[in-house]
């Protein structure tokens, strides 16, 4: 039997892991499709359960160092995965702290010395007069403690302990043929560490020197290893902490359905856990309570707020025979319903499933660092091999100097600032975003925002406020508009209906009516100061022999704008028309205009009818919209847009938007929305201001640009230094061992002091202190460049007229 | 194919070709000169960011033992790239390096440890001449 299932996976530590898992699982008989996802740490598997079981798949993955979480209950697997995640973050935090405790003295010592060309010492005199006297006397009677011992002891735990994860990741990446950033880091730091250890131990220690017959290399690269590993692990820690918490989104969804339900069994009311509900159970829903499961009303009448699930802006009036959806809110009436679907078949559960599937199939965006190193690593390795061959085979140099040239290329190829490029820009960018009320969840969100070319908006609650408000009042008699509204409000005071609430809200100091009766499907009738007030539709007017034909035009005009229109009659005479609609949030129009200027395609998605959708869309200048979209179709719609090659951002607020938010390349959740949407989104707008969508996209773009710039600054010194490390430049700066004529001329041109420096530098390959300088300087450049992002200004329009 | 496999194959071919070339096709005078067993001892001092002497001439194939004397109160370093030498000289200490002058030519030696003003001008030359 063929089956599709989503598992949580334990032990995924890098993007290449997903490829490795897919590769190995697809080799198994019975696995038809395997799609592992690093971001959501899950596996979407389509397999033949008669050929292979999840336990067997787990056994395969165990050999690679991963394991499937096979839990009895879906919710348990989420809990387990979340615990795993917390453990991972704690682990990274510990590593970061340990790493920096050991690395900071090394980094400080070497970087200051190299950057400022300082006179310094690299050994303490022990028991020979101490630091000062010992130094002057040449440490007579004492012994020198070479700092190499201290740095060796401090770098080793960093390189082999903290940095162990890089070896593991690099190995995984290499098995699938990917040269990720981990490979570059392993290559560079291992080269630096090994040449430091081997050079120091074998050429500096007398007894090993005798044995190896080699002397004279003790200039170490401790700081290269220590700084790289520390900064990269710090970046990983930030990334892990900010990674979107899909798990809690799903848990929150699960908590949405009430825990208990009141059922009627054998004529008695019983409170039972919702999970024990059975099909055809009769259950009660009290006013203000949430519906426990999907069913049909058998008795009672109410208006149900289905916004959370369907996205419909207005509560829907429901009568016996109508369907109710689990997790929606019953506003006023007491309902007796029959359960139609329970457990995994309910609409809510379908949404949970969709969120999970969307997350597990989301295309992962590759880090800038990974993309750079994918090309860079093979080039460096090949170049290093060529360098060795040139010196050793062609120029006939001894083996050790030839190898040192090669190792120098590898050491310098991995910039110290590599680990700083992404996290520093990310830190400044996200901090800057937070100041503007925009929470960006990690680097992936930024990359997503940078790439998008289409923005899909959910209408209700995102573009509009999600509740009806009075938009127009047409006074038909001599009375002023305020009076018309007030009279209508008096009658509506008896009603709980959201439309009634909107009318009351629009008017001030509304007195109580004397008598009141709600007329189902027509409106309201009330007595006030001995006169009759009628508020309702044309049916109610006709029943009371009031002719509406003179006002037909006003009425139709308003209806065509997709507004709910009611007549108000007072003392046997029609006095006015009141129109109600879900109103737009502030600045929506400005935001849309700006997005269009940014050449993004704008799409509106709504559960509302065609007419309402069209009215809203045209009023804010959106060209393409999809009306009557069922919640489960939203995600499909996004997927279709993606299939057309669009990179789509989804802006939404509701639970019904969650699958689409998860599926979209970038999910933007509006902060006033539901927790579930907020947890699912990649970017969260804290303020209820849709202009922040523009700011978020703009800021993301700037931050990504910053990251690229950082990579430029990180790599530029090193890329220039690579041929120098290889000694390639000597071919043009030397002729037969003496400076080439052009170098001498150039030196003369540069003047006395700097000319001499140029002349001397041109005659050697990459001098270690120059390498140290490049490393320190590139780190400083990267940090400075990132800090410049603090000066980011929001797009001009965004903050204007904020407070009117 | 896995790009690391391709790189490994490339490396194997390159080294193979290199060995073949150096054994069968390379002019014999390019190969490192075999040590003659003759040991030459030389003293070099570093004082106020200057080498003394700044010019050393040795014969190819000789084993060179250099005693490095640092007279300053801070560290220097002694480096000759062609022979894989890069040695730290502790303040007020004597250090030694040893290598075979296996190539003829003019080689730069320089200070490899930052030592303040004049650091980049602290250089000298080692000239290796033919033993005949």
* pLDDT tens figures, A217-243: 777 888 888 988 998 888 888 777 766
Specify whether the CB–CB gap between A412 and A722 falls below 8 A.
yes
Please give the Cα distance from A252 to A188 (Å, whole number).
Answer: 44
Instruction: Look at residue A63 in the predicted model and tell me its pLDDT.
Output: 81
Local confidence band at A305 (pLDDT 50, 70, 90 cut-offs): confident
Please give the Cα distance from B66 to A517 (Å, whole number).
Answer: 112
**Number of residue pairs across A and B with CB atoms under 8 Å?**
172
> Which residue in the set A114, A179, A385 is minimally distant from B11, CB to CB?
A385
Closest residue in chain B to residue A144, using alpha carbons only:
B90
Asked if pLDDT for residue A122 goes beyond 70, the answer is yes
Instruction: Look at residue A350 in the predicted model and tell me its pLDDT.
Output: 79
pTM above 0.80, yes or no: no
User: In this complex, is the C-beta atom of B79 within 8 Å of any C-beta atom belonging to chain A?
Assistant: yes
Closest residue in chain A to residue B30, using alpha carbons only:
A396
> Which residue in the set A116, A137, A760 is minimally distant from B121, CB to CB?
A760
Contact A117 B115 (CB under 8 A): yes
Local confidence band at A802 (pLDDT 50, 70, 90 cut-offs): very low
DSSP string computed for A750-761: H-HHHHHHHHHH
| Count of CB atoms situated within 10 Å of the CB of A727 | 25
Instruction: Look at residue A804 in the predicted model and tell me its pLDDT.
Output: 40
Local confidence band at A378 (pLDDT 50, 70, 90 cut-offs): very high
Q: What does the DSSP 8-state code read for residue A764?
A: S
Q: Which residues pair with B63 in a beta bridge?
A: B39, B100
Contact A394 B83 (CB under 8 A): no
Please give the Cα distance from A464 to A314 (Å, whole number).
Answer: 12
DSSP string computed for B28-46: GGGSPPPP---EEEEEEEE
- Give the pLDDT mean for A341-354: 81
User: In this complex, is the C-beta atom of B91 within 8 Å of any C-beta atom belonging to chain A?
Assistant: yes
Please give the Cα distance from A294 to A287 (Å, whole number).
Answer: 17
Please give the Cα distance from A159 to A465 (Å, whole number).
Answer: 55
A83-96: pLDDT as tens digits: 877 888 898 899 99
- Give the pLDDT mean for A325-333: 84
A683-700: pLDDT as tens digits: 888 887 888 899 999 999
ipTM of the complex: 0.93
- Give the pLDDT mean for A579-586: 85
Mutate to test the interface with A, among B92, B93, B99 (most CBs of A within 10 A): B92
Which value, in Å, is the radius of gyration of the alpha carbons in chain B? 19
Contact B87 A215 (CB under 8 A): yes
Mutate to test the interface with A, among B60, B70, B88 (most CBs of A within 10 A): B88
With contacts defined as CB-CB under 8 Å, which chain A residues touch B112? 219, 767-769
Instruction: Look at residue A803 in the predicted model and tell me its pLDDT.
Output: 43
Closest residue in chain A to residue B71, using alpha carbons only:
A138
Specify whether the CB–CB gap between A468 and A498 falls below 8 A.
yes
Closest-CA residue to A564 (of A553, A554, A579) = A579
| Count of CB atoms situated within 10 Å of the CB of B21 | 13
Please give the Cα distance from A678 to A662 (Å, whole number).
Answer: 11
Closest-CA residue to A145 (of B90, B2, B26, B100) = B90
Contact A393 B74 (CB under 8 A): no
Of A72-81, A212-221, A692-701, the least confident: A72-81
Average model confidence (pLDDT) across chain A: 84
CA distance A750 to chain B (A): 15
Instruction: Look at residue B37 in the predicted model and tell me its pLDDT.
Output: 86
Task: Determine what percent of chain B is predicted with pLDDT higher than 70.
Answer: 99
The token pair at A460 is 């209700």
Please give the Cα distance from A689 to A587 (Å, whole number).
Answer: 7
Specify whether the CB–CB gap between B20 and A196 falls below 8 A.
no
Mutate to test the interface with A, among B113, B115, B124, B128 (most CBs of A within 10 A): B113
Contact A760 B110 (CB under 8 A): yes
With contacts defined as CB-CB under 8 Å, which chain B residues touch A738? 106
CA distance A104 to chain B (A): 20
Asked if pLDDT for residue A365 goes beyond 70, the answer is no
Instruction: Look at residue B56 in the predicted model and tell me its pLDDT.
Output: 94
CA distance A108 to chain B (A): 15
Specify whether the CB–CB gap between A20 and A61 falls below 8 A.
no
* Alpha helices, H only, A630-740: 631-643, 658-663, 675-680, 691-726, 730-733
Contact B107 A120 (CB under 8 A): no
Specify whether the CB–CB gap between A463 and A690 falls below 8 A.
yes
Please give the Cα distance from A662 to A634 (Å, whole number).
Answer: 11
Q: Is A51 helix (H, G, I), strand (E, B) or coil?
A: coil
Which residue is it, tokens 């004049």? B118
- Give the pLDDT mean for A419-429: 82
Mutate to test the interface with B, among A384, A393, A759 (most CBs of B within 10 A): A393
Residues recorded for chain A: 804
A622-674: pLDDT as tens digits: 889 998 887 778 888 999 999 998 999 999 887 778 888 888 989 998 876 67
Specify whether the CB–CB gap between B77 and B88 falls below 8 A.
yes
- Which residues, including other chains, have CB under 8 Å from residue A316's CB and lie 6 or more apart? A303, A304, A306
Strands A143-146 and A123-126: antiparallel
Question: What are the catalytic residues of A?
Answer: 458
Local confidence band at A167 (pLDDT 50, 70, 90 cut-offs): very high
Instruction: Look at residue B17 in the predicted model and tell me its pLDDT.
Output: 95
Instruction: Look at residue A609 in the predicted model and tell me its pLDDT.
Output: 80
Q: Which of A300-304, A504-508, A696-700 has the highest mean pLDDT?
A: A696-700
The token pair at A53 is 């079981």
- Strand (E) or helix (H) holding A209: helix A206-212
Contact B121 A137 (CB under 8 A): no
Closest residue in chain A to residue B70, using alpha carbons only:
A138
Which residue is it, tokens 């994918």? A374
Q: What does the DSSP 8-state code read for residue A458?
A: E
CA-to-CA dists, residue B60 to A694, A730, B75, angstroms: 72, 22, 30
Of A91-100, A166-175, A415-424, A538-547, the least confident: A415-424
Please give the Cα distance from A647 to A614 (Å, whole number).
Answer: 24
* Burial call A127-152: b when 16+ CB within 10 Å, e when fewer: ebbeeeebbeebbeebebebbbebbb
Q: Which residues pair with B86 in a beta bridge?
A: A217, B79
Q: Is A341 helix (H, G, I), strand (E, B) or coil?
A: strand
Specify whether the CB–CB gap between A624 and A648 falls below 8 A.
no
Question: In degrees rounded to 5, what are phi and psi of residue A27?
Answer: -75, -20
């Amino acid at each position: 039997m063929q089956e599709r299932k989503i598992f949580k996976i334990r032990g995924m530590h890098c993007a290449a892991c997903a490829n490795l898992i897919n590769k190995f699982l697809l080799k198994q008989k019975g696995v038809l499709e395997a799609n592992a996802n690093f971001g959501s740490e899950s596996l979407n598997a389509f397999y033949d359960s008669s050929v292979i079981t999840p336990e067997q798949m787990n056994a395969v993955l165990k050999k690679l160092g991963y394991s499937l979480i096979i839990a009895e209950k879906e919710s348990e697997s989420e809990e387990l995965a979340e615990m795993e995640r917390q453990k991972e973050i704690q682990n990274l935090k510990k590593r970061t702290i340990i790493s920096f405790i050991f690395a900071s003295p090394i980094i400080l010592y070497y970087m200051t010395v190299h950057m400022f060309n300082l006179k310094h010492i690299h050994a303490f005199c022990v028991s020979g007069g101490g630091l000062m006297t010992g130094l002057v006397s040449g440490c007579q009677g004492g012994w020198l403690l070479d700092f190499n011992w201290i740095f060796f002891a401090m770098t080793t735990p960093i390189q082999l302990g903290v940095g162990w994860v890089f070896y593991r990741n690099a190995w995984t990446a290499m098995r699938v043929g990917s040269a990720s950033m981990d490979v570059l880091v392993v290559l560079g730091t291992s080269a630096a560490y090994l040449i430091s250890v081997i050079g120091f131990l074998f050429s500096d220690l007398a007894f090993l020197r005798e044995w190896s017959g080699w002397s004279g290399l003790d200039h170490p690269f401790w700081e290269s290893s220590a700084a790289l590993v520390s900064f990269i692990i710090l970046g990983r820690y930030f990334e892990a902490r900010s990674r979107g918490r899909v798990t809690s989104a799903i848990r929150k969804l699960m908590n949405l359905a009430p825990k208990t339900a009141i059922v009627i069994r054998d004529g008695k009311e019983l409170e039972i856990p919702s999970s024990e509900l059975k099909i055809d159970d009769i259950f009660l829903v009290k006013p203000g309570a949430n519906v426990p499961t999907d069913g049909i009303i058998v008795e009672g009448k109410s208006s149900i707020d289905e916004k959370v699930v369907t996205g419909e802006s207005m509560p829907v009036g429901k009568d016996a025979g109508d369907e109710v959806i689990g997790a929606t809110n019953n506003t006023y009436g007491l309902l007796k319903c029959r359960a139609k679907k329970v457990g995994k078949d309910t609409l809510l559960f379908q949404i949970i499933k969709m969120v999970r599937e969307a997350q597990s199939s989301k295309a992962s965006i590759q880090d800038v660092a990974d993309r750079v190193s994918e090309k860079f690593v093979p080039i460096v390795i090949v170049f290093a091999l060529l360098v060795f061959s040139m010196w050793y085979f062609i120029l006939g140099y001894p083996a050790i100097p030839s190898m040192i040239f090669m190792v120098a290329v590898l050491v310098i190829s991995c910039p110290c600032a590599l680990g700083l490029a992404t996290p520093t820009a990310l830190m400044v960018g996200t901090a800057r975003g937070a100041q503007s009320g925009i929470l960006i969840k990690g680097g992936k969100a930024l990359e997503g925002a940078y790439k998008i070319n289409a923005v899909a908006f959910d209408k209700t609650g995102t573009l509009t406020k999600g509740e009806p408000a009075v938009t127009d009042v047409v006074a038909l008699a001599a009375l002023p508009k305020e009076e018309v509204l007030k009279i209508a409000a008096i009658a509506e005071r008896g009603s709980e209906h959201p439309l009634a609430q909107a009318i009351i809200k629009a008017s001030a100091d509304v007195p109580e009516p004397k008598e009141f009766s709600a007329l189902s499907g027509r409106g309201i009738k009330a007595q006030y100061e001995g006169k009759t007030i009628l508020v309702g539709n044309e049916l109610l007017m006709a029943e009371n022999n009031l002719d509406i034909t003179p006002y037909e035009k006003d009425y139709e005009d308003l209806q065509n704008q997709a507004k709910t229109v009611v007549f108000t009659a007072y003392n046997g005479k029609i006095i006015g028309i009141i129109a109600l609609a879900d109103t737009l949030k502030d600045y929506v129009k400005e935001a849309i205009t700006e997005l269009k200027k940014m050449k993004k395609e704008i799409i509106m998605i709504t559960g509302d009818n065609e007419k309402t959708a069209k009215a809203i869309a045209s009023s804010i200048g959106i060209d393409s919209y999809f009306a009557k979209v069922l919640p489960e179709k939203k995600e499909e719609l996004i997927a279709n847009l993606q299939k057309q090659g669009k990179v789509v951002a989804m802006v939404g607020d509701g639970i019904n938007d969650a699958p689409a938010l998860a599926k979209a390349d970038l999910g933007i959740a509006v902060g006033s929305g539901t927790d579930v949407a907020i947890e699912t989104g990649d970017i969260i707008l804290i303020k209820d201001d849709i202009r922040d969508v523009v700011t978020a996209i703009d800021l993301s773009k700037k931050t990504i640009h910053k990251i690229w710039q950082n990579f430029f600054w990180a790599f530029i010194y090193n890329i220039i230094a690579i041929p120098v490390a290889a000694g390639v430049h000597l071919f043009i700066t030397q002729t037969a061992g003496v400076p080439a004529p052009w170098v001498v001329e150039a030196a003369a041109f540069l003047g006395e002091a700097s000319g001499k420096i140029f002349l001397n530098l041109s005659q050697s390959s990459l001098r270690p202190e120059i390498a140290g300088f490049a490393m320190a300087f590139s780190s400083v450049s990267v940090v400075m460049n990132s800090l410049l992002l603090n000066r980011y200004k929001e797009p001009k329009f965004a903050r204007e007229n904020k407070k009117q | 194919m896995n790009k690391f496999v391709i790189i490994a194959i490339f490396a194997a071919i390159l080294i193979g070709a290199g060995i073949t070339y150096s054994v069968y096709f390379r002019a014999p005078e390019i190969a490192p000169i075999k040590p003659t067993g003759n040991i030459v001892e030389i003293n070099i001092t570093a004082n106020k960011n200057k080498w003394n002497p700044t010019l050393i001439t040795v014969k190819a194939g000789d084993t060179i033992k250099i005693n490095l004397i640092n007279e300053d109160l801070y560290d220097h370093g002694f480096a000759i790239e062609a022979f894989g030498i890069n040695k730290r000289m502790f303040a007020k200490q004597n250090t030694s390096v040893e290598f075979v002058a296996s190539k003829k030519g003019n080689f730069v030696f320089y200070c490899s440890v930052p030592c303040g003003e004049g650091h980049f001008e602290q250089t000298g030359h080692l000239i290796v001449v033919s033993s005949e």
